[in-house]
Structure formats: structure tokens, C-alpha cells
Structure 1
Amino acid sequence: MSNRIDLIWQEILADIGTPVAGWQIAVIVMACAIAWMINGAIRAYVMSHAPENWKIGIGTFNRLLFPLSTLCIVLASKWVLGHWQHTTMLHLASNLLLAMAAVRLVVYAMRYIIAPGGVLKTIEHTLATLIWLVLALHLSGILPEMLETLEAVKFKIGKNSVNLLLLLQGLLTILITVFVAMWLSRVVENKLMQVEQLNANTRVMLAKVVRICLLFIAVLIGLSAVGLDLTLISVFGGALGVGLGFGLQRIASNYVSGFILLMDKSISIGDIVTIDVHYGIIKDLRTRYLVLKKLDGTEVIIPNETLIINPVINHSGMDRNTRVQVAVQVAYESDLDLVLQLLVKAAVDHPRVLVTPAPGAVVTGFADSGIDMRLTVWIHDAEEGTSSLQSDLFMAIWRLFKAHDISIPYPQREVRVLGG
């Protein structure tokens, strides 16, 4: 245990049961009470006056405000009481409050960068545990000894002599710079997604380009901060290029295809497309793959290269209207003019069917058992599915046919016995 930490714990043990400890405990309780009242007032104001889009940001700031406001009061009281007595308890409390603020800040930033899920919770718990562990090692006096031990372990990388402490510092620096770059890229992405003047593809492409550039700059800053030669990047880039040319050519092709799709605007998020045997709505465009949500609720991950080398049917590229067809068959004795009118009436009465283009019914052929008819309607919300629409139309046609005595034939076979 270091001399400073040892002295702090000795002073705390000596002050227990004396007015010195009482004053410090009173200051800590008072600081927590004042911070709690400030937080309550801000929370009440946010819930009653602030706009909805401000509540998340102000609520997160309010969570940080409690440890920070308590810390400010404790530090001010420490400076005042330091003229007459020991303030070791206040020093310990300030370290704990600083660690609490760091934990809450990291948790907020991670929730802003990473989507909710199991991975986010694991990262949050890991980072919070590391922060509290570092604080515990510092207060116990073990941390300085650990740093000295890590610094004593030295080895050479090429001509440079490094130690474990330097490597850990470099790794921590790179992680922090990457973390900041991801946070900035998410801020820029949110701002870009609110620019309605830009096409959705353009916004997604710009957001991804900004993220890649910021991450590259973050890595360069992290490497230069630990004293590594940046000329190694050129060697690494050459090796990466060779690797992409041989072993990773399909992955590189998917990334390049993704940027081509985003730039040429042939497809966009929300389009209704048919890719191979998959029909659905484009839910997301990534740099490597596309997420297609089928009408049954399932999602298909399709590599971007597939969209470049294979035909893609875009049902809503220039027009969002989608055609839906319903085939029926009526008996040969039926009044075809009436049947055509009833089919159109069943379509017009449905709320999802568009008036323009108008629904239409046609005769498509004469079959063995009856006359084939086809009803064609247009809808504007194909993302809601077509199975329920077809079911509703069949039910409406069935009721209209029953009301007008129009029969739907079924296969019949006539058997004749010859030769008595």
C-alpha cells in the first residue's frame, strides 16, 4: 500500500467517533439531499413542460447531474473544512462520486451507440465493473504496485523497447478514440437522417462514409498517441489489399456492391422487391448485405453482390402502387356481364383497394368445368401484406355470387357403361 493511501485510511480510522468525522458525514448527507432535490425539480419540469424529443436527453443529463452536483458540493465543502480539520472522508466520497459519474456517462454513451440487446447489457456490466475495480484497487493502494509491475515487464518489438504498461495504455487510448469516433458518427448519422431534402440512400451512404472516416482517424490518433510509427499503416494496407484480392474478394465485392446500390438509387429502403424467390420490403441497406422483410414477417439477409449480378424486380421503384390479382371460375350458365359487375363491386367496396387505377375484371378462358375470370386491383400499402386482402375479396365475391345465384363449378365426371 502506498504511503498516501495508507495515510488516508489511518486518518479515517482515527477520525471515527470524533466531531471531525461527524462534520464530514453531515456534509456528505447534505450534498446528497441538495442534489436529490435538484434532480427532483428538473425531473418534474421535464415531465410537465419539456417537449417529447427533449425528454430522453434531459433525463440522461439528470442522471449525470446527481453525482456531479453532489461532487461539486463535496469539493467545495472539502476546501472550506480543510482549513480546520482532516477531510479524508470527503476525499474518499469525491472519488466514489467521480466513479459513479463515469459509470453513468459510459452507460449513456453505450446506449447511444449500440442497439438495445444482450450485447449492450454485457458491455455495460463489463465497463461498470472495470471502473469500480480500478477505483477499488486505487483506494486499497494496490493499483500503483500493479502499474510498477507491468512497467517492469519489458520486451522488444523490432528496434523499439516496450513494456506491458505501455501496451495497455496504447490499447486503452485506441479504445477511447474509437469510442469517441463511434459516438460522433452516431450524432452525425442522426442529424443526416433528419435531412428530408436528401434521398434515403444518400443519407445512409453519407452516414457510413462518415463513420468509416472517423474510425480511421481515431485509429491513427490512437497509434500516434502511443508512439507507434504510422508508416506501418502503409505496410498493413498493402497486406490488406493482397488479402482482399485473394481470400476476401467476395467480402470486398459485397462492400463495393453496397456502395454502388446506395449511389445509383436503383433501390431504396421501403421498396417492394422480388429477389430470386424472395418477395418483400427492403427494411435496411447495409454496406455488406440487405435486409428484406417478407410479408409473412420473416427477414432474409441477402448479400449485396446478389443484387448486382442477378435480376431484381422493383415493384415500387417509380410507383408505390402494387397489383393484386384474384382468379375465380363460374358456371357456363352464368350471366358474364353480371359476374364482371359483381367482381368489380367486391373490389370497390374494400377500403384498401385504390379508386385510381380502377379495379377491373376480365374473362381469361373457357376451362373444362367453367369459365375462368380474373379480378385485378391496385393497393398502395403492400407492406401490410396481400393474403388478408385476397381473403377479403374471396369472401365478398362468395357472398355476392350467393346473393345473385351464380354458381362456382367443380369438376364432374360422367361414366357410361357400354355393351348392356
Structure 2
Amino acid sequence: MQNAVDPFSEFLLTIQGLWINATAFFAGVIQPGWRQNQVIIVIVLAFLSWGLHRSSGNFLENWVRSREGWEKWQLRAIVQIKRRLGLIWFFLLASAVYLVMQNITWPSRSYLIGLAATLAIVWVGIAFAARMVRNRFFRRMVTWSLWIYATLYLLNVSDDVATFLDGLAFELGDFRFSILTLITAIVVIGLLVTLARVASQATVSTIRRNEDISPSMQVLAVKAVQLAMYGIAFYMGVKAIGVDLTGLAVLSGAIGVGLGFGLQKVVSNLVSGVIILLDKSIKPGDVISLGETFGWIQTLGARYASVVTRDGKEYLIPNEDLITGQVVNWSHSNDFVRLDIHFGTAYGDDPHKVRKLAIAAAASVDRVLSFKAPVCHIVGFGDSSVDYILRFWIKDPTGGLTNIRGNVFLALWDTFKENSISIPFPQREVKLLEDS
């Protein structure tokens, strides 16, 4: 029975093999010959590409600045091309030299040049493909990992390096974690999350274009799709790298209990947000009043609702307050809103005439609905005036309430002034006694 090689000895053998290959390559470069000539040609082409990168980059920038009406994605693409012009020029020059040398000499005498050209175009392709990853940290990790892997693969040393990285590991019982596992996890999860983001964006666009779905249900569906896509991507990524999720189930349960006590308000807001979206009591675009806050719902988030007021302030109201507090939704079932105005006139003025003039004044104001005609009633006899209430309807509460009330008051003032209707105010008469 043959003894198995221990991990440390296998690790040393891997390092020894890599060292022998590297030493053999550099020994061939030092000695005069076609290998050394190819390295010199690659270095010369790299310097030429650097010079062309600077000159052509300035030309491209000036050319783009002279153009107008470009979309943002076009400008971003130009920026990415400008950053990698050196590699693109190197690929073009190296490919041309490689093709020429293939026809005038032996194929083996241009192998390194062709390899360098292939590496350049592969690096460019990876750099452009990695732009799909939005997170900067993950994008850099995916880019560098793919660059290194592609280089090692084209140099035919990827298996040796993988064995080397897999040897850098620690074990805890049956659990084993290596550097290779970490790199694989970052790359796989990054790619899967990117695919999930692209798929969720396409699904979200379809949902938002569907006019048969209410705004609140659209928000709920978008959140559900995003949660499902990213959850599946993370689960598949973890399974792809061979991590057993059975042990994580118990750990996540314990963490969940701890977070439940520590994050009661956060969980309450999350649940309240789901309830709001399901019962459709509040939806984006509704005009609401909560305490002293009056405005319209701009967005409904997982934790809070964004309410924008007429003065441009944006209030972030927790979802729990919208569930437990008394909220006035001015546009819940429809957009019709009735407003009341209180005023008074002198006892010497005919109340029948006052009512007709008040109704006509309100009807003359823009935004006041004509098919829901204003009405005016006497509500009491005050100390110095006959008290009235004027009621009228509007259909656009998002346009503001204070401004429409002010316009109606101005119309009343002008109408009463034209018709000699007086608006009394409290007057006090003070008498001084002689003995005082």
C-alpha cells in the first residue's frame, strides 16, 4: 500500500515545479536567440503602443469634445476605450508583426509575440465585460482575477498555480478553506450577481410598463423580483464553490433571533412597508397629511416613505408611522378634495346676497370645480358678524391647498368691495370715569 503525499510536501513540489519552469524561461531569454529576439520585439512594441496611446488619446478626446448630443452610455464607452488604447494598439501592432513573421520564418520563432497579442486582446475583453459589475470592489476583484487566470491559462501554468493556491488553506474539522476557494467565490458570486442584476432590470422594466398593475403593486413586485434574483445568485454562488449550507442554517437561525431583538424597529418598518404595498392604502403619487407634514408620496422604500412638501423639503417617514398613525390621504379613492373657508360679514348686509356673491367669487377662481358647485351656509351669529362657511371642490391637491384658499379669499375681498359688503372686525370702546 502506497502512502499518500501530505499536503505540505505537495505544496513544496508545486513551488519547485513553478520555479523550474520560470528558471528555464529566463535562461532562454538571457541567451542570444529567437526567444530573446521575441522578448525584445515585445518590449519595443510596448513602447510604441504607449506613445500611440498618448497621441491617439488626446485626438480622441478632442474629437469627442467637438461633438454634441451624445448619450451618457456613449460617452462612458469612449472613456473606457481611451483608457485601454495602449492595449488595443499593442494588439494591432503585435498581430501585424506576428502575421508577418509567420510567413517569413518558422512559427516557433514568433510564438511569444502571438502569445502577447492574445493576452492583450483578452485583457481588453475582460476589462469591458467587467464593467457590467456595478460594485467597484467586486468589479476590480473580478477583473484582476480573470486577468490573472487568463494569463496563467495561456502560459499553460494554470493547473500548477491552482494547486499552489489550493495548498494555502486552513482546516477546521471537516471544513477546509483555501485561497483558491476565496478567489473562486469572489469571481463566481460577482458574475452571478451581475447576471441577476441584468435579469432583474429587464423584469423591472417590463413590470413598470404594465399599466394594468397599480403603482403600489409595481413597487412590491419590483422588490420581490430583486430579492429573488439576488438571493438565487448568492445561493448558487455559494453552492458552486462547494460550501455546505447545512451548518449555516443553524447559525443563521441564531443570528436571526439576535437581530430580531436588536432590530425590532427595522423589522417593523419592513413588515409595515409590505402591508402598505399589499393593502394599497398609500401609493406613489398620493397626497397625504401626517401631523404637520403635508405633501405627496414620491417613493415607497423598504424602510420609509419619501414625502415631498410644497416648499421642496423631503421627509423620510418610517413605514410604521404610516400604519399606526392617523394619516389623511387626500387622493386615496379619488382626487376630489373639498376645502372649507370661514368668514363673516356685518349684520347690516343681506345674508342672501352675501351667499350668492360668495358662491360666485369662489366659482371664478381657477382650479375650483364647476360641476361640484361651491356652496355657502350661515353657521352662526357672532358678537360682531354673521358667520358663514364657504365650501368648494378641487381635483389637484398636488397643486397645493394654501394657495387655492388664498385665491378664494382674494376673490371674496374683491367681490365684497365691489358690492359694498363690509367685513367687520372686533372694536372696543374704552370710557374713562371722572373720579378715576
The 8 Å contact of residues 130 and 143 in structure 2, kept in 1 or not, is answered as no
Matched residue SS, 2:391:
strand
2:375 maps to: 360
1:317 maps to: 332
Distance 1:107 1:402, change over 3 A: farther
CA–CA separation in structure 1 for the residues paired with 2:186 and 2:228: 20
CA–CA separation in structure 1 for the residues paired with 2:269 and 2:186: 30
2:8 maps to: none
State yes or no: 1:80 paired with 2:99: yes
The 8 Å contact of residues 145 and 183 in structure 2, kept in 1 or not, is answered as no
What is the CA-CA distance between 1:211 and the residue it aligns to? 1.2
2:40 maps to: 14
**Match of 1:247, as an amino acid?**
G
**CA deviation vs aligned residue, 1:322-364 (integer Å, no higher than 9, x gap):** 2233333323333333333333233222222222322222333
CA–CA separation in structure 2 for the residues paired with 1:157 and 1:305: 44
**Match of 1:361, as an amino acid?**
C
CA–CA separation in structure 2 for the residues paired with 1:3 and 1:379: 86
The 8 Å contact of residues 107 and 124 in structure 1, kept in 2 or not, is answered as no
CA–CA separation in structure 1 for the residues paired with 2:24 and 2:300: 56
Within a 5 Å distance, the mapping from 1:3-402 to structure 2 comes to 14-15=40-41, 77=96, 80-81=99-100, 83=102, 84=104, 86=110, 99=123, 102-103=126-127, 105-107=129-131, 110=134, 127=139, 131=143, 153-402=168-417
Identical aligned pairs, as a percentage?
Answer: 28
CA–CA separation in structure 2 for the residues paired with 1:346 and 1:256: 48
CA–CA separation in structure 2 for the residues paired with 1:403 and 1:236: 80
CA–CA separation in structure 1 for the residues paired with 2:224 and 2:24: 49
Q: How many residues align?
A: 388
The 8 Å contact of residues 64 and 101 in structure 1, kept in 2 or not, is answered as no
CA–CA separation in structure 1 for the residues paired with 2:240 and 2:97: 35
Distance 1:4 1:372, change over 3 A: farther
Distance 1:397 1:4, change over 3 A: farther
1:411 maps to: 426
**Match of 2:370, as an amino acid?**
V
CA–CA separation in structure 2 for the residues paired with 1:5 and 1:356: 91
CA–CA separation in structure 2 for the residues paired with 1:17 and 1:296: 64
**CA deviation vs aligned residue, 1:114-156 (integer Å, no higher than 9, x gap):** xxxxxxxxx55995699589969999x9xx9999986664322
Matched residue SS, 1:206:
helix
Q: Radius of gyration: which is bigger?
A: 2
**Match of 1:223, as an amino acid?**
V
**Match of 1:390, as an amino acid?**
R
- TM-score, normalised relative to structure 1: 0.73
**CA deviation vs aligned residue, 1:68-94 (integer Å, no higher than 9, x gap):** 9x6997797577345147486786576
Distance 1:17 1:300, change over 3 A: closer
2:11 maps to: none
Distance 1:157 1:189, change over 3 A: farther
Distance 1:231 1:136, change over 3 A: closer
Matched residue SS, 2:189:
helix
CA–CA separation in structure 2 for the residues paired with 1:412 and 1:5: 108
The 8 Å contact of residues 287 and 294 in structure 2, kept in 1 or not, is answered as yes
**Match of 1:14, as an amino acid?**
I
Matched residue SS, 1:374:
strand
Structure 1: stretches of 5+ with no match in the other structure:
48-54, 111-122
**Match of 2:245, as an amino acid?**
L
- TM-score, normalised relative to structure 2: 0.70
What is the CA-CA distance between 1:277 and the residue it aligns to? 4.2
Further displaced range: 159-168 or 148-157:
148-157
What is the CA-CA distance between 1:101 and the residue it aligns to? 5.3
What is the CA-CA distance between 1:229 and the residue it aligns to? 0.7
Matched residue SS, 2:429:
coil
What is the CA-CA distance between 1:275 and the residue it aligns to? 3.1
Structure 2: stretches of 5+ with no match in the other structure:
1-18, 30-34
Distance 1:103 1:16, change over 3 A: closer
The 8 Å contact of residues 287 and 397 in structure 2, kept in 1 or not, is answered as yes
CA–CA separation in structure 1 for the residues paired with 2:352 and 2:174: 93
**CA deviation vs aligned residue, 1:212-255 (integer Å, no higher than 9, x gap):** 11111111111112221121342234224423543333322322
CA–CA separation in structure 2 for the residues paired with 1:291 and 1:382: 17
What is the CA-CA distance between 1:195 and the residue it aligns to? 0.7
The 8 Å contact of residues 150 and 163 in structure 1, kept in 2 or not, is answered as yes
Q: CA RMSD in A?
A: 4.7
